[in-house]
Chains A and B, each alone.
Chain A
């Protein structure tokens, strides 16, 4: 996999009035990765995306795309970018095909064949000659993705791309994005609130809070880092008191769970074998041990909670 940086944030800062909306971002987005951009409302995600595509000026610092500054070499930089900013706002009074033709004309060397190919790819062949005003949100989302991919960009920026898609559509989009990144080496930059979706889709996660980058990591490392999981334990009803005492020896507290013979303990996943051995050695009949994996959502909310 080609791992050269496609996007380079260099001390990127946006100040509006006296308020710092985005504060000194420094990170790279590499070719061939799906990059998730998280943050609560008002963290500056959309502002960052708008700076990346040159819709708003950068107050301090710069953003390089394929080595070209979006501020001073706009046309060379934006040539490699495809995207949807916020909603897929297309011309409703034109047909889907006219919309694509419109964007194709703004780029050099996009053939009719390419347009048809992309229409087929996003599954809009049946309705491409209907007016966009008759499209559902999901269809507009797909048309938006079609216009973003038309010129084979090396950076694809998608803001809330799963908005309005049905479960099958979301799954297909997820697979498409992964394929684009992993097979064709496109850098895919996705911002979303759907944390479970981001967990499935992204290779790397960056978290923005109050305009500052608070974390950037591979998605698995991000979730499991210094993570305390919940371990659910089921034992013979008569042995629960004994079990509690044994666990107390490990300096942990077992708390009664939902079932009559269920307990749960806060502990690291790698301590589970030790616990298991202890229980077996003391003749406890363990019916089940189950580690509840933490999700991106847990981690994200925990992180936001800490900051507050």
Chain B
């Protein structure tokens, strides 16, 4: 099995596409953090700034067109700002962990790239005809498919780690290495303002995001295995991802949508206390994703095992 996985890793690593993706991943991550630093305005008096923010948030809440998601977000921010002034807790000075937390969007980029790699890993063997020599070896088809799946998952995990490390590295150049003990104000699952360790929140967000990434990887992998067409696999997966983002909003109105993977695939919603529906919890989302992963993986296995390889 180790041999099979190292074969698959060799095939991923030796492709040009992989290196283009890794380059883009690092360039975009580094670029985002640099841009953030360039547009940053120095804060002289945090109390005055917070009062200003409170006014702005209150103004925003009066606008009717605000989407439910935006509304909740503004409310949360308002609550934290009020709490700060009340308890006289200054915002934490800029540090790499807080910066990483703010760039949760980078995780979506990892998802997109992981979809592209996963879409190719099985269908490419068919289009190049190499599937024939791959299958006439003393290994069951299940093992061969599984080794491919594990390799893509490992590669996606590496991309997530690269984003984390690059983001941390670039921020550390601007703000220093940061203190593992730094605490900041967050809303807990019950909606109360609480002091939490920033480093642990960051690790939690990036670490748990592996599950949504894996669910898109599994989707793309399954489509590519079943249809043997990588373009379709990328297309369908990206379409679902984009449509999925707008479904998060609809989920607040239509309750059964919460059982679809979309509203569950953004872990940052839980870090910032913005669940699509009040009854949705982090463990609910993780369970839903795990079920989808199992179903997609099972489907690709069933099709791959049975198929006549022409």
Question: A: which residues have CB within 8 A of B?
Answer: 50, 53-57, 74-76, 78-79, 81, 83-87, 89-94, 98, 101-103, 105-107, 144, 147
Q: In residues 100-147 of chain B, which contact A (Cβ within 8 Å)?
A: 128-130, 132-133, 135-140
- Residue B253 lies at the interface, judged by CB distance under 8 Å to chain A: no
Q: Is the CB of A102 within 8 A of B128?
A: no
Q: Given the complex, which residues of A lie within 8 Å of B130, measured CB to CB?
A: 89-91
Given A50-B309, A105-B4, does the pair A85, B137 have CB atoms closer than 8 Å?
no
Q: Is the CB of A81 within 8 A of B10?
A: no
- Cα A89 to Cα B310 in complex, Å, equals 13
Q: In residues 61-116 of chain B, which contact A (Cβ within 8 Å)?
A: none
Contact partner of B128 (CB less than 8 A), chosen from A57, A89, A101, is: A89
Closest Cβ–Cβ distance, residue B94 to chain A (whole Å): 44
| 22 A-B pairs whose Cβ atoms sit less than 8 Å apart in the complex | A50-B308, A53-B135, A53-B136, A55-B310, A56-B308, A57-B308, A75-B140, A76-B138, A85-B133, A85-B136, A89-B129, A89-B132, A90-B133, A91-B130, A93-B16, A102-B7, A102-B11, A105-B4, A105-B7, A106-B4, A106-B7, A106-B138
Closest Cβ–Cβ distance, residue B137 to chain A (whole Å): 4
Besides A53-B132, A54-B136, A90-B133, 8 other A-B contacts (C-beta < 8 A): A78-B136, A85-B132, A91-B128, A102-B11, A105-B3, A105-B6, A106-B139, A144-B133
Given A86-B132, A87-B129, A89-B128, does the pair A107, B10 have CB atoms closer than 8 Å?
no
- Cα A85 to Cα B133 in complex, Å, equals 7
Q: Is the CB of B135 within 8 A of A147?
A: no
Closest residue on chain A to residue B310 by CB atoms? A56
Q: Given the complex, which residues of B lie within 8 Å of A86, measured CB to CB?
A: 129, 132
Closest residue on chain A to residue B128 by CB atoms? A89
Contact with A along B137-167 (1 / 0, CB 8 A): 1111000000000000000000000000000
- Cα A261 to Cα B113 in complex, Å, equals 81
Closest Cβ–Cβ distance, residue A140 to chain B (whole Å): 11
Report the number of A-B residue pairs with Cβ-Cβ less than 8 Å. Answer: 75
Q: In residues 1-15 of chain B, which contact A (Cβ within 8 Å)?
A: 3-4, 6-7, 10-11, 14-15
Closest Cβ–Cβ distance, residue A81 to chain B (whole Å): 7
Q: Given the complex, which residues of A lie within 8 Å of B10, measured CB to CB?
A: 94, 98, 101-102
Q: Given the complex, which residues of B lie within 8 Å of A54, measured CB to CB?
A: 135-136
- Cα A103 to Cα B139 in complex, Å, equals 12
Closest Cβ–Cβ distance, residue A214 to chain B (whole Å): 25
Closest Cβ–Cβ distance, residue B7 to chain A (whole Å): 5
- Cα A84 to Cα B139 in complex, Å, equals 17
**For chain B, which range describes its interface: under 10, 10 to 19, 20 to 34, or 35 or more residues?**
20 to 34
Closest residue on chain A to residue B2 by CB atoms? A105
Closest residue on chain A to residue B137 by CB atoms? A106
Q: Given the complex, which residues of A lie within 8 Å of B133, measured CB to CB?
A: 84-85, 89-90, 103, 144, 147
Q: Is the CB of B309 within 8 A of A55?
A: yes
Closest Cβ–Cβ distance, residue A76 to chain B (whole Å): 8
Q: Is the CB of A92 within 8 A of B128?
A: yes
- Cα A1 to Cα B130 in complex, Å, equals 35
Closest residue on chain B to residue A57 by CB atoms? B308
Q: What 5 A-B pairs are tightest by C-beta distance, nearest first?
A: A89-B129, A105-B3, A56-B308, A55-B309, A106-B137
Closest residue on chain B to residue A53 by CB atoms? B136
Closest Cβ–Cβ distance, residue B204 to chain A (whole Å): 37
Closest residue on chain A to residue B139 by CB atoms? A106
Q: Given the complex, which residues of B lie within 8 Å of A76, measured CB to CB?
A: 138
Closest residue on chain B to residue A52 by CB atoms? B136
Q: Is the CB of B11 within 8 A of A91?
A: yes
- Cα A93 to Cα B127 in complex, Å, equals 14
Closest Cβ–Cβ distance, residue B70 to chain A (whole Å): 46
- Which has the most chain A C-beta neighbours within 10 Å: B132, B135, B308? B132
- Cα A54 to Cα B133 in complex, Å, equals 11
Q: Given the complex, which residues of A lie within 8 Å of B310, measured CB to CB?
A: 50, 55-56
Closest residue on chain B to residue A91 by CB atoms? B130
Q: Given the complex, which residues of B lie within 8 Å of A56, measured CB to CB?
A: 308-310
Q: Is the CB of B137 within 8 A of A103?
A: yes
- Cα A78 to Cα B11 in complex, Å, equals 24
- Cα A87 to Cα B16 in complex, Å, equals 25
- Which has the most chain B C-beta neighbours within 10 Å: A81, A89, A107? A89
Q: Given the complex, which residues of A lie within 8 Å of B11, measured CB to CB?
A: 91, 94, 102
- Cα A117 to Cα B132 in complex, Å, equals 24
Closest Cβ–Cβ distance, residue A202 to chain B (whole Å): 22
Closest residue on chain B to residue A46 by CB atoms? B310
Given A55-B309, A85-B132, A89-B133, does the pair A75, B139 have CB atoms closer than 8 Å?
yes
Q: Is the CB of A98 within 8 A of B136?
A: no
Q: Given the complex, which residues of A lie within 8 Å of B138, measured CB to CB?
A: 75-76, 78-79, 106-107
Q: Is the CB of B15 within 8 A of A55?
A: no
Q: Is the CB of B140 within 8 A of A74?
A: yes
Closest Cβ–Cβ distance, residue B117 to chain A (whole Å): 14
Contact partner of B136 (CB less than 8 A), chosen from A57, A83, A91, is: A83
Q: Given the complex, which residues of A lie within 8 Å of B6, measured CB to CB?
A: 105
- Cα A147 to Cα B136 in complex, Å, equals 11
Closest Cβ–Cβ distance, residue B21 to chain A (whole Å): 15
- Cα A144 to Cα B129 in complex, Å, equals 13
Closest Cβ–Cβ distance, residue B260 to chain A (whole Å): 36
